[in-house]
Structure 1
Amino acid sequence: MTSRKLISFDWAIKKILRSKANFGILEGFLSELLFTDITILEVLESESNQEMGFDKYNRVDIKVADADQRIILIEVQYSRELDYLQRILFASSKTITEHLIEGAAYAEVSKVISVNILYFDFGKGDDYIYHGTTNFIGLHNHSVLELSAEQKNLYKSEKIADIYPEYYLIEIRNFNDVAKDSLDEWIYFLKNEEIKEDFTAKGLKQAKETLNVLKMSEQERLAYDRHQTQLHHEASIYQSTYVLGQMEGHEAGFEAGHEKGHEKGHKKGKEEGILLMAKNMKQAGIAIATIMQVTGLSVEQIDKL
């Protein structure tokens, strides 16, 4: 089957999918992922939706209704960054607090689903979609704590996990490019920026038309090309400097001739690699906020480079 190159999803999130006319694309993706019909009610404006430098967050916050008319806040993030677990925890917590009306009861806290599309190796596992929820397990008999009838009525939920944030981690690199179902068709698109002619997943037909690179204006195409070049540049900077730091660490350790020296040299090399990466990113004009996020360095440390 033939396919054609489409606009990358991160660019689409920032520039195209926030438009009401294009809600069908995101609705299709989320419906396939969550196994319920999703209707987008609105894009939520918050600090996290503002562009910063080279876009610290490729993220959009949206309010949706599911097939049962439950109102849910969903944040969709497309990222190539490394420091992630604490970041998604912070982001989901921030989404909750930003959209809780001042003075409202805690029972009004919104359900949040965090959907994370990851373009780097994350953790150790052989699946490409991971789903995380919150449950309370007894220490002695290992039973799952359940809601009382009154709490089910108050929270309009059947399980405690239905109240707390949920996390979906989509590890694109682990996908083997074999689409076995409609959700896999979306994962194929996210990985390859292509939609095969026989794909039928919700939202993909509209995505094929809306995200066609050939329909971009000359100005849009130039901006898109700069964006893609910047992504490749940042990835190259990280790979070269981090690997260099690791190599220097191993070399210093072997020269020391014993385990302690190896660990010390490894640590020193890794630190030097991070500093070199930050310096190169700074010289390349990458925003300080992005450098901080990628390297974990403080503003003061970056200013000294």
Structure 2
Amino acid sequence: MAMTFEQVVETVKQFSPKQREILSDLMGKWEIKAVRHEIARDAQESLTMFSQGKLKPQSAQNAIKELPENERHAYERYRDNLHYEASMFESSYTAAVMEGRKEGLLEGKLEGIKEGEKKKAMQIARNLLKTGGLNVQSIAAMTDLSIEDIRIMQTELGNS
């Protein structure tokens, strides 16, 4: 069953901000796909006409030149707007990709730092276990490792 425009608006009003953001992203992607589809369809149609000899290379340009001045200006504005929209889509897409890469790099660096800190803590715990001067609870408190992790290391090192 198809919804009226008003029903769609009311439904969207009930969405959470996150749902609206997701919907907005999807709408942008659908619009880009629709524009690409329209361009591809127009290009295919022109290629077909050209290959069948129905469209000469200059005939489209000549047809535009033969339009009344107000229609020619309207067409030129339309064409310029299409170029501008395509440029804006490309710019926003590129900006989003770059932002995603930045976030990914930052997450990767943070993950690497956490992993390095844990390895260092484990090395310190091993060294403390080898010296045998501290109990498991003290080593866990000093290294922020779990008591279970310390006990596993202790077993691996053979220090019960």
Q: TM-score range by the shorter chain?
A: 0.3 to 0.5
Higher helix share: 2
- Highest relative contact order (Cα 8 Å, sep 6+), 1 or 2? 1
Higher strand share: 1
Structure with higher Rg: it is: 2
TM-score by length of 2: 0.37
